Structures are given as structure tokens and as C-alpha cells.
A and B are shown apart, each in its own frame.
Chain A
Amino acid sequence: MSVTMNVPSNLRQFTGGQAVVECDGKTVGECLHDLARKFPGIEMGLFDSEGNLLHYLDVYVNLESSYPEELNKAVKDGDELHLTLFTVAGG
């Protein structure tokens, strides 16, 4: 299954500045691990030390939150994923 992954700007240092990349997998978790394989170093911005999705990161599948399934949420070919960081600054 190939999906489109929208990468937030704070993680684009690992994707060579690319905002949108292609990933493979049958679940959100598999897609994120594929992302980490393709772009080493990015996993620090995705997973905690136990391999769970960082609690301040959300993954939207076709514009809908994957929470609470998160990494286990199934995806299908052509789905669009958005990684979003919980932002808290007020400028």
C-alpha cells in the first residue's frame, strides 16, 4: 500500500526539505516505520523510547485523526496522511 505522507516542517531536516513523501505500509505504524527507513534520524521525532507514537504528535488519515488507534490504524492505497505536531507557542 502506498500512501502520501505530509511531513511537518520541524521534521523536514530529515527528508531533505521535502514536505510530501511517499511511504508504504498497511497501517499508520508500518507507514511511519517505512518513513524512518527511508529517512534515518526522523524516528526520534516520531516515536518514544518504547516505540509508541510521541504523545504530542498526531497522525491524520484522509484529514481524520488516527487517535486512539494511532499506529494500528489501517490505511489503504492512495490514502493521504498528515503528521502534525502539537504546537503551543503564542509567538
Chain B
Amino acid sequence: MLTDDELERYDRQIAIDGFGKEGQEKLKKARVFLAGAGGLGCTVSLYLAAAGVGTIRMVDPDAIELSNLNRQVLHWTEDIGRLKVDSAAAKLRRLNPNVKVEAIGQKITAASISSLTAGFDLLVDAMDNLPTRYLLNKVALERNIPFFHGAVYGFEGRVMTVLPRETACLRCVYRGDIPEEKTPVVGVTPAIIGCIQAAEVIKHIVGIGQLLTNKLLIYDGLTMKFTELKVKKNPDCEHCGQLVKDKK
């Protein structure tokens, strides 16, 4: 049940066709797991909290450094040295006290991912490395919960949404590992990509619109072009191939 305060706070989105009080109630009940409190994580959490997602669990082991501040907009100069999840949670609680924000300053590992994600309805991938992204993709497939992928490089970014057993997964698109390097990035890129991820999450919870499934949306900020690439399920995919065979 929405309170009078919530009805007023979310008045403009409740007014959207197909959203309504029912959609807002769904957001209030939703439990979103967010992996990463960096550039993408800051943007995703900011807009999910503003929209009234009931519970957001943020997981990230890192502390804030000066070089993070060009893009990780929930972390400010006075936060340097603080855990990113604590800094983000503090800002989000001030933005919207109705939202329960859980801050966990841990690394996501093969051993910990199951307990960390237990009880959550959706996984958002705002990580900074491929092995952890693969872990998230896999656990989403095992749990049959949606997975929202985003990644950035410089002025470029990419987004895709995975609905287990129905659509292509991250492993259908990515192959092998990628050499680690210091990645260049300007703050507007994770802001744009994170906003698209947040929009996908909100649409999925409310049940309106179309999702970026079986598609990889590529954003090129230098040419200001969005390109929608078609993605197909790989029947031999290491992560989702067996699920498809089991379904048959």
C-alpha cells in the first residue's frame, strides 16, 4: 500500500500510461541486486532509488579514490577513502528515505555470489571485470531471474537485457577473457548507459514497454549514434545452452 507521501513523490511517473499505482506498488516490492558502485552503479542506483524501488543491495569492495570522481557521481571529494557502497548508500537514503539500501563492501566471488544474491528478483551488472560478469550471468540463469548488463569504454557503451531461458545471455555474446587494462572513460558515458539499464529494470518491474532482449545496444558518444545489433541465442552456449536443452 502506498502512503500519501509516496503517492505525491511518485505522482509524475504514476501518471504514465500503463504505470499507475499498480506499477508503483510493484516497484516498492521489488528487490534489486546491484553489482558495482562505480560509474554505472552510481547512476543505476540513483535512478532506481528515485523511482522508488523497495530494496537495493549494492555490493562493491572498493574504496573511493580521487580518480573516480570524474564519473562516479554519488561519491564526492570528502568521501575519498570511504567504501563506495557506504558513500552511495548514504546519498541514496537522503534522496529517498522510503528505499531500503543495503551496502555490502565485499568482493563477489564464486563462493559468495549465491548467498549475496539470495532473495533478489533482478540482477544488475555494473561490474568492472568479465569474470564477475560471467558469475552474475550464470547465477541469473540458474535462478531464472532477469539480468541487466551494461559496460563502458571512453565515449562508448553497451547495454543488453537477459531473460533466462528466453533470450540470448551474456555468454552468448562474449567469448573468452579480455586483457585487463586501465580503461579510459568520461563520466557522461556511464551516466547514459546506467540510465538505460535503470530504465530497463523499471520497465521490467512495472511490466511496460519493450526490453533490450536479443539485442546489444551500442552507444557511440563521439558520433552520437545508437546502434541496435541483433544477438542470437547460442545453442552451444556454456552458460545457457544446457538450460535451453533442458527446457525442450
- Size of the B side of the interface (Cβ < 8 Å), in residues, is 47
CB atoms of B223 and A82 under 8 A apart: no
Q: Is the interface of B mostly helix, strand, loop or mixed?
A: mixed
Contact of A9 among B126, B156, B179 (CB under 8 A): B156
Q: How many A-B residue pairs have CB under 8 A?
A: 95
- With contact pairs A87-B156, A89-B185, A90-B190 given, residues A64 and B151 touching in the complex (Cβ less than 8 Å): no
CB-based contact A82/B229 at 8 Å: yes
Contact status A63-B227, CB under 8 Å: yes
Partner of A84, one of B38, B190, B229: B229
Assess whether B40 is interfacial by the CB under 8 Å rule: yes
Q: Residue-by-residue, is B120-149 near A (CB-CB < 8 Å gives 1, otherwise 0)? A: 000000111110010000000000000000
A contacts with B, residue count (CB < 8 A): 23
Given that A9-B222, A19-B223 are known contacts, is A89 also in contact with B152, CB under 8 Å in the complex? yes
Residue A10 at the chain B interface, CB threshold 8 Å:
yes
Which single residue of chain B is at the shortest CB-CB distance from A88? B130
* Distance, CA A67 to CA B176, complexed state (A): 14
A and B contact pairs by CB, cutoff 8 A, 10 listed? A9-B154, A63-B229, A65-B229, A65-B230, A67-B175, A87-B157, A88-B127, A88-B151, A89-B183, A91-B72
A-B contacts besides A88-B133, A90-B41, A91-B71, 12 pairs, CB < 8 Å: A9-B220, A19-B220, A63-B229, A65-B229, A82-B229, A85-B153, A86-B174, A87-B156, A87-B158, A88-B183, A90-B126, A91-B42
